[in-house]
Amino acid sequence: MEKPLILVTNDDGITAPGIRALVDVAMELGDVVVVAPDSPQSGMGHAITISDPIRLHPNDRVFEGLESYECSGTPVDCVKLAKHVVLKDRKPDICLSGINHGSNASINIIYSGTLSAAMEASLEGIPSIGFSLLDYSYEANFEACKPYVRELIEWVLKHGLDEGSLLNVNIPALPYDELKGLRVCRQADARWKEEFTEAQDPRGQKYYWLTGRFSNDDKADDTDIWALENNYISVVPSMHDLTNYRALKTLKAIENL
Amino acid sequence: MEKPLILVTNDDGITAPGIRALVDVAMELGDVVVVAPDSPQSGMGHAITISDPIRLHPNDRVFEGLESYECSGTPVDCVKLAKHVVLKDRKPDICLSGINHGSNASINIIYSGTLSAAMEASLEGIPSIGFSLLDYSYEANFEACKPYVRELIEWVLKHGLDEGSLLNVNIPALPYDELKGLRVCRQADARWKEEFTEAQDPRGQKYYWLTGRFSNDDKADDTDIWALENNYISVVPSMHDLTNYRALKTLKAIENL
């Protein structure tokens, strides 16, 4: 049997420890091609590069012996270039993005380069998974979650996903023994409460840093936040359709304006 | 009665003709505050600026006599700064984004800075509308659609929208007489078929430009693409929940892995 072709990307950049952990697992399961940003791209959401040229260079220094490329664009650009320039007629059996350093649960999905890369792959008909570990540090421990990461990839390779679907997987930063398993859930309806830090540069000009804290009033037990708070790995099936179907009917009135 | 407070932003930048047209209409309906990018930000999706400082400067040269600011960040940054730094305790009654030069119908919503700004406002509990005209040119004619833009803003000011909801409004580039009215619809399940143009810079280094063509196989008559092709203004109620609810059940199996 032919080995599956696995495309790996991320948003923390090709040298991040998180993508190394994901590549380690992926290499046990198939032929791996890496196309990842050449610099950190956190918070890029579904941004694409349309007003600037994009650079793409083979990089064999990070993943020796693997077909891998670094790209000057966003995570979504990486997936587009992987498909159209790097792989061409070789269609990946799965696209993996991450493992992100930090949570992409709940509303974070819309700001996340990691998940936008996975969504872009799903738009191209490639089943995809975005992985995130709830630890922002560079020294995060990606070992404990590896058995679960592997199981999920194997499951999706075997069963596939609905057309246009992706999985948003978030993992508590816990030792393996304390992880309670996988839990399929919906995106919690939480928000960021932003604050801006005001400062002055050496020339006396004001500037702002975006900061904030995550705030969740959605206390139901079927959400990703609940799962994570209870030591489960959260798995949210996600997609690209933003239509608010419930509102379609209420709004019909405006057709008669 | 107090006049409504209207926040206006866009992604083509504060000097674009599209935002001027939107401000013209908004000024007839309420007190307007503009916070818009200082440069074009098309294709930025829901990107936020977290690794760089953000600049925010009053700009009274573009909209004389209006409270207006230009911001070095993305459209989503503009909305966050508007709320937390510019307006503070003054909560806008509505947020308007656009009028974008070019379509944001169907899948374009996920790449669009215009719609991401509107979504960010909706996350903050502000009813919001993203407007786009199907004409990419700088000289696009924004006059014909103004009566509809006004009607929609008035309707939302009066009736509000579901919590966390926004409207994605796209307008055919037609004379007023040929516009058939408003049509409430869902996001068509269409895609971009990408191509990359390869070129060499003067130093002999390869680079790529992202190009592509829009391709729609979703031929039903309840979509935004159908509406636009039939000379209607499309109105898609949209939201930030990306959960694929239909897939939740199928996936339950993985909880037993």
Q: What are the tokens at B37?
A: 């990018």
Please state which CATH number belongs to domain B5-192+219-256.
3.40.1210.10
Residue A2, pLDDT score: 84
pTM of the model: 0.93
Chain A neighbors of B242, CB-CB under 8 A = 109-110, 119, 168, 187, 236, 238-240, 242
The distance of B54 to chain A (nearest Cα, Å) reads 5
Of A166-170, A197-201, B29-33, B223-227, the least confident: A197-201
Chain centroid, CA B206 distance in Å: 33
Could you count the other beta carbons within 10 Å of the beta carbon of residue A13? 18
pLDDT over 90, % of chain B: 85
Give the mean pLDDT of B204-216: 92
Q: Write out chain B residues lying below 8 Å of A103, CB-based.
A: none
How do strand B166-171 and strand B233-238 relate by DSSP bridges? antiparallel
Residue B183 has pLDDT above 80, yes or no: yes
Give the Cα separation of A43 and A211 in Å (integer): 12
Which residues touch A109 (CB under 8 Å, ≥6 apart)? A115, A168, A187, A236, A238, B242
- Label residue A102 by pLDDT band (50, 70, 90): very high
Residues of B in contact with A196 (CB under 8 A): 54, 80-81, 84-85
Cis bond before residue B254 (omega within 30° of 0):
no
User: Nearest-5° angle of CA A153, CA B240, CA B252?
Assistant: 35
Percent of chain B scored above 70 by pLDDT?
100
Decide if A247 touches B, using CB distance below 8 A: yes
pLDDT tens, position by position, A74-90:
999 999 999 999 999 99
Does B80 sit within 8 Å of A187, measured CB to CB?
no
Give chain B positions within 8 Å (CB) of A152.
254, 257
- Number of residues that this document lists for chain B: 257
For residue B237, the chain A residues in CB contact (below 8 A) are 243-244, 247-248, 251
B81–A208 C-beta distance less than 8 A? yes
8 Å CB contact of A241 and B162: no
CATH code that applies to domain A5-188+220-256: 3.40.1210.10
CA distance B90 to A138: 40
Question: What ipTM goes with this model?
Answer: 0.91
What's the rounded Cα separation, in Å, for the pair A214 and A229? Answer: 13
Residue A113 pLDDT more than 70? yes
Instruction: Identify from A244, A245, A255 which residue to disrupt to test chain B contact, counting B C-beta atoms within 10 A and taking the largest count.
Output: A244
Please state, in angstroms and rounded to a whole number, the distance separating the CA atoms of residues A249 and B125: 21
Max Cα–Cα distance, chain B, nearest Å: 65
How far from B253 is each of A132, A180, B220, B250, CA to CA, in Å? 21, 16, 33, 7
Instruction: Choose among B39, B56, B144, B36: nearest CA to B98.
Output: B36
Interface test with B, best of A79, A148, A242 (most B CBs within 10 A): A242
Task: Please list every residue in chain B whose beta carbon sits closer than 8 Å to the beta carbon of residue A86.
Answer: none
pLDDT at B1 over 70: no
Strand pairing class (B182-184; B233-238): parallel
Does residue A241 surpass a pLDDT of 90? Answer: yes
* CB distance B219 to B190 below 8 Å: no
Domain boundaries, chain A: 5-188+220-256
Which among B182, B201, B253 is the nearest to A255, CB-wise? B182
In the stretch 40-99 of chain A, residues with CB closer than 8 A to chain B read 40, 42-51, 53-56, 74, 76-77, 80-81, 83-85
How do residues B2-59 score in pLDDT, each as one tens digit?
Answer: 899 999 999 999 999 999 999 999 999 999 999 999 999 888 888 999 888 999 999 9
Task: Judge whether residue B206 has pLDDT over 80.
Answer: yes
CA dihedral B69, B72, B78, B84 (to 10 degrees): -80
B130 within 8 A of B234, measured Cβ to Cβ:
no
Distance between CA A122 and CA A156 in Å, rounded? 13
**Pairwise CA distance, residues A250 & A237, whole Å:** 27
Q: Could you give phi then psi for residue B211, rounded to 5 degrees?
A: -135, -175
